[in-house]
Chain A
Amino acid sequence: MAELSFPLPDLGEGLIEATILEWLVAEGDQVERNQPLVEVETTKSTVELPSPQAGTVVKVHGDAGSVIAVGDPLIVFEVPDDTAGIVGTVPAEKAPARRVRLSAVLDDD
């Protein structure tokens, strides 16, 4: 098993932080991808953040009322080893599927 940590995602529109309102999952819970994880409030609105990952919740960061900056750790999952490469690692290098001609095509004039 491997641990995968997810930060508070960019919520758009220049928002730099959000306040935790309520966790909808707890440590030890098995969650599905897209299952709502947490309610957060920004200066603009209140949203439910869906899970980017299926797995077991190992740790949640921040109690109700705490402020988390975009990019700071939000939640940690435990996932089977073979899924850990989905996020955070560079895919293995492969030969390009399609070649593009880089030389200039000169006009006829």
Chain B
Amino acid sequence: MGRHRDHLVEGSDPQLSVALHPPASDAGLRPVLLLHGFASSTKLNWVDSGWIRFLNEAGRAVITVDLPGHGDSAAPEARDSYSPSRIRADVLQVLQDHHVAPLREGVPASGVDIIGYSLGSRLAWEFGATQPELVHRMVLGGPGSGDPLAEFDLAAAQELLAEGTPIKDPRTAELMRMARLVPTNDVFALLTMVEAVKDEPFIPAEAVPRMPLLLVAGENDDLAATAQELADLAPHAELLKLPARTHANAVTSRAFKAAAVAFLSA
């Protein structure tokens, strides 16, 4: 699957890098959409970590999308391109392009399952809340009830880039460290995304997904310290903690993958 230049959402093509990863032997279940985290990509979050292989081996077809300014997707200048509401509209378009049909009782291939990580979990939470007729179940990795990007110290990040001034806020410093480590990351696009997220911060109680949710967080994940509060907002949510894992290294966890596949097959 390439880019969808013929499908226009709100008048302009987001030029997102979208891919379908079919299994060798299809279990006949609905596809799984993967949404990666801030400053990551489909490759880092899902390919190199072994997720696509694991899901394919479980017979699941996988749809991946690089967020704007990330991975192989375009990095537009306009701030609106990065707003969470715009991204959710683009995700809906991606699912329509893949002929994802509304859930139907007794039809296991209908609808879609979603796995998100970090910012991808925030987008999934909102997407699931607004698209209950499409989304069957969701696994939200590294989630929290707060919004680390809305609290991001943008001025400090800009001073770091311009003058090399060290960032005082530890979370901002860690997010910038991650953003700059990957040579292909467009740091200015990522900062534009931060601005867009500040315009639309995550307020999970505003729209709550009502389908079954599995929240997964490393025991030592500072960014997901509020995962239980998030779980408490939803009517059907359970929380799995991964011993000794952090926000960065929970992604590859075998226990995470196995729990996700089992939860989504139910």
Binding site for B on A (CB under 8 A): 13, 21-22, 24, 36, 39, 41, 43-48, 64
Contact = CB atoms under 8 A, between A and B. Distances in A.
Contacts, number: 39
A39 B254 contact: yes
A50 to B, nearest CB: 8
A41 B181 contact: no
A43 B49 contact: no
Given A36-B53, A41-B252, A48-B48, 15 more contacts: A13-B183, A21-B252, A21-B253, A22-B253, A24-B254, A39-B249, A39-B253, A43-B181, A44-B182, A45-B44, A45-B49, A46-B248, A46-B251, A48-B50, A64-B244
Nearest to B248: A46
Given A22-B254, A24-B254, A41 B50 contact: no
A36 B49 CA distance: 10
A48 B49 contact: yes
Contacts of A13: 183
Interface centre among A41, A43, A47, A48, by most chain B C-beta atoms within 10 angstroms, is A48
A36 B53 CA distance: 9
A47 B253 CA distance: 10
Nearest to A45: B44
Contacts of A22: 252-254
